Every structure is written in structure tokens, then in C-alpha cells.
Structure 1
Amino acid sequence: MERHPTHPAPRVGHVHLRVSDLDRAVAFYRDALGLEEQQRFGTGAAFLGWDGYHHHVALNTWDSLGGTPPPRGHTGLFHAAFLYPDRAALGAAVRRVLEAGIELTGAADHGVSEAVYFDDPDGNGIELYRDRPPADWPRDARGMLAMGNAPLDVAALVRDAGRP
């Protein structure tokens, strides 16, 4: 396969999800993740962002109103990941999720990052994480990344964030 050069720093700009109940999904992303509703597009879509950005998460019911999550074993979104700038910000976000009564489905120290996982009301996977500095990323003898899946002490993460 021929490789084509790309811009050196593309990044994921937003995630757009099909949901079954728009108001329920907006409430989840607003209350649990702290996103702000920026716009409603009729009764079928909403756009939410942090810090006034047009949208980091778009939600729609165009083909999914009243629908059910895809069954396990099918293709589709594994999770949308939201990167926090540091451990304190991640811990504060995780505290908000836990205080909202959302059950975590996982938590891991990947060596390059610390991450927690849970599902939105439509069964879409969500990851909240923070990266360690690249100089601290674990590498094998060949210099390749050596990411892992070690347990993460979520209580310590939240405690270390302090109180707002």
C-alpha cells in the first residue's frame, strides 16, 4: 500500500453519535462530562462543546429515534476518547462522572496514559484519559511503544485532583 504524506499534526475534531433519545443524551453529555449545548438542529440533533467551541460531540436521532444499541459482537464504535490536559483535570472529570451515579466499566494505566471507561445511555463507550509526557512512555528494546493494561487506582486519581 502506497503511503501518502499528511500534515504533521492532524487531530480528531469531534465525534458524531446516533442516539435514541436526544434530550436524554444531551443531559448525559452536559451533566456528566460538562459539555455545553451550542446548538439544536430542529428536534433531531444537538451540538455540544467545551469552552464555546462549536462542537466536540454531535448527537442525532435521524435514523435512530427510539432505537436500541447494536448487539455485542457487531462492528461499530468501541469508544470515543476525551483527552484531559493533566491528571488533576482527569481526576476532577472522573469525580463528576462518579457523582452523577455513572458506573465505570473499566480503568487502566496504559503506561502512556491513565484512562477510565464507561457507557453513555445508548451504550456508546466513553473513555476519559490523560497522556503522560512522551519522554515517559514505556518502550521495548527496539524502541517500540510497550503499552500495558495495569490496574488504575481510581480513588487515588479522584483524591489527587482535590476539590474545586
Structure 2
Amino acid sequence: MSALSKVIDPGTRIGHVHLKVADLDRALAFYRDVLGFEITQRYGSQAVFLSAGGYHHHIALNTWESLGGSPPPRGTTGLYHVAIVYPERAALADALRRLAAAGIPLEGASDHGVSEALYLSDPDGNGVELYWDKPSDQWPRAADGSLTMSNARLDLADLAAAAPA
């Protein structure tokens, strides 16, 4: 096997996403106030780092090259969505409750067999997926062991019922 065809180390992970936004306070109102991320560092009126659980940052927002800008037009390349994984179904249900309370519409909701996912856009038009992974022993598999992911409709009422009181 050549060095170029070697697979990536299985311990590799995505560390954070850094988004260009038009209005820092508007983006912060979404990621902090609606989704619940905490500020770990702020760089004046130009950038802010946010995290869950005290990590240095999972999401960074900045206006360095985008202050007052508009989202990229549809049909162009760029970020499709950022996916935020929740540790359990109840946490995803709480996110659904937060979105509803803030009046933020969903653009989709799917049961992929391996996960349940909510799809929406942030205030700058960036795609956001909120999801939780089902336990791997419940993932649907073909006879050869390969995954058979799907795109079934997610029962939102059932998910909402899983939200903590």
C-alpha cells in the first residue's frame, strides 16, 4: 500500500467549524441563545468562539471578511451544512423544543436509520444539521454487513415527547 492510499487514523476527528457571518450579534443570538453554546472567547465585535462543555471551541464566528455580507447564491460551491451531534435523543428533543420556542423553522427532519436529524439554516443561510447517532448495534445493515442508511420521515411528535421536562 502506498503512502497516498493509506487510510486516515481512526482517532482523527473534526475539531471545529469556523463560519464567516454578516452580523456577529445576530449569529450569536442563534448559536448561543437558541442552540445553547457557551462563549469561551470573544474578540471584540469581530469574532467569538463557542463551545459545549468547556472545550476551547466547537464553533467560531467572525466578520473579518463578511461584515454586512450576503449568503452565497444557491448553486455555488461552499459549505452544505455543519452537523452538530447530540449525545442522546433527549438532548436532540430539547434542541427541537428550543427551535420551536425561537420560531426557527425546520427545512427537513429525517430518520437515517443510523441517526435522527433536524435540518435548518442559521441566520446567515448556512445549513445546520442537528442529530444524534443511534447505538451502532441498531444501525441497519445489509447481509454483507454494509450500512443501509435511509432517508425516512422523522416523527417529530415522537421526538418532542423525548424532551426532558
TM-score by length of 2: 0.94
Unaligned runs of 5+ in 2: none
Q: Find the counterpart in structure 2 of residue 161 from structure 1.
A: 163
- Structure 1 contact 31–100 (Cα < 8 Å) conserved: no
Q: Quick one: structure 1 residues 149 and 5, their matched pair in 2 at CA, closer, same or farther if it must change by over 3 Å?
A: closer
Which aligned pairs between 1:1-164 and structure 2 lie closer than 5 A?
2-163=4-165
Match of 1:161, SS?
A: coil
CA deviation vs aligned residue, 1:24-83 (integer Å, no higher than 9, x gap): 111110111101111112321110111222111100111111000011111111111111
Distance 1:8 1:72 in 2: 34
Structure 1 stretch displaced more, 148-157 or 133-142: 133-142
Q: 1:136 deviation in Å?
A: 1.2
Number of equivalenced pairs = 163
Q: 1:120 is matched by which residue type in structure 2?
A: D
- Structure 1 contact 105–117 (Cα < 8 Å) conserved: yes
Match of 2:162, SS?
A: helix
CA RMSD in angstroms comes to: 1.3
Q: 1:61 is matched by which residue type in structure 2?
A: T
TM-score by length of 1: 0.94
Q: 2:35 is matched by which residue type in structure 1?
A: L
Match of 2:91, SS?
A: helix
Q: 2:131 is matched by which residue type in structure 1?
A: Y
Structure 1 stretch displaced more, 38-47 or 25-34: 38-47
Distance 1:91 1:5 in 2: 35
Q: Name the % identity.
A: 61
Q: 1:5 deviation in Å?
A: 4.2
